[in-house]
Amino acid sequence: MTRAHFADPQPAIGERLRARLEAKLAERGIDPTAPLPDTPEPIPALEAAQERIPVDYRDAVVEHPDVAAWVRTITEAAVEPNAGGLNPHFGTAGRRRIAHGPSLLLWGDTGAGKTHQAYGAIRALTAAGCGVSWHATTAADLYADMRPRAGVDPEHMLRRIVRVPLLLLDDLGAAKGSEWTEEITFRLVNWRCQNRLPTIFTTNLPPVRDRSVPPQQPVLRDKIGDRVLSRLSGMCTPVHFTGPDRRFLRR
């Protein structure tokens, strides 16, 4: 038996072709020997979230330590897909998803950065790799959407919003109150409290009246009632924001 003869391996491209490629790259100012830039890979969840976040908050980052601690808590509590199903060993290879956890009550002066931090928290959760199904609305818009009108089932809409894994309810207590709005708020807060669904509430009002609150200033308790405030107290970490109105400072 004779041994097969193998020729020496040939270069991937010839010298003349290499020279032509290098000349073309040089014409375009490209150095093929330069190190590649360290470009981070895009995060699909964050990119999708950016399309839904208001323009003013698309660069929002978490700055308050209490909000950052909340983001870590929610991220660490995220569960694998189907982990709580009848067959937990199936379908657990996907991204972890937000499940249950505490909520936040961001309160304080107008323009102090509450909504900015709320959207920063949403961006941080999506950037952390969690599967985040979220909804954001103001209390006034929520009540407006719930009003009966042709072609819309308010009950279906409320059930969908109440059950979303992560909810931002902005400007709680700012809308004109009534027995009807108090009932809507109670149903939403009560469900999310009982099922420990993470919720971010923002309000310009102090939660309760104390010596630091002027007599003429309303408090959240006056606007939403004791039943709702009791549940907020049990489910939320309160975070107080102070300082000048950031919207004026940007001018």
What residues make up the domain containing 110?
Answer: 44-249
Of the listed ranges 3-7, 10-14, 222-226, the least confidently predicted one is 3-7
* 30 pLDDT more than 80: no
Q: Averaged over 159-186, what is the pLDDT?
A: 93
Domain-embedded: residue 33 = no
**Domain total of the chain:** 1
Q: Please write the tens of the pLDDT for every residue from 59-89.
A: 999 999 999 999 999 999 888 766 555 555 5
Greater confidence (58 vs 38) lies with 58
* 39 pLDDT more than 50: no
Q: Model-level pTM greater than 0.85?
A: no
Domain-embedded: residue 2 = no
Q: Averaged over 106-111, what is the pLDDT?
A: 90
* 37 pLDDT more than 80: no
Domain-embedded: residue 212 = yes
What CATH number corresponds to the domain at position 119?
A: 3.40.50.300
pLDDT bin (cut points 50, 70, 90) of residue 117 is very high
Domain-embedded: residue 157 = yes
Nearest alpha carbon to residue 191 among 162, 170, 167, 211: 162
pLDDT > 90: percent of the chain: 49
Domain-embedded: residue 135 = yes
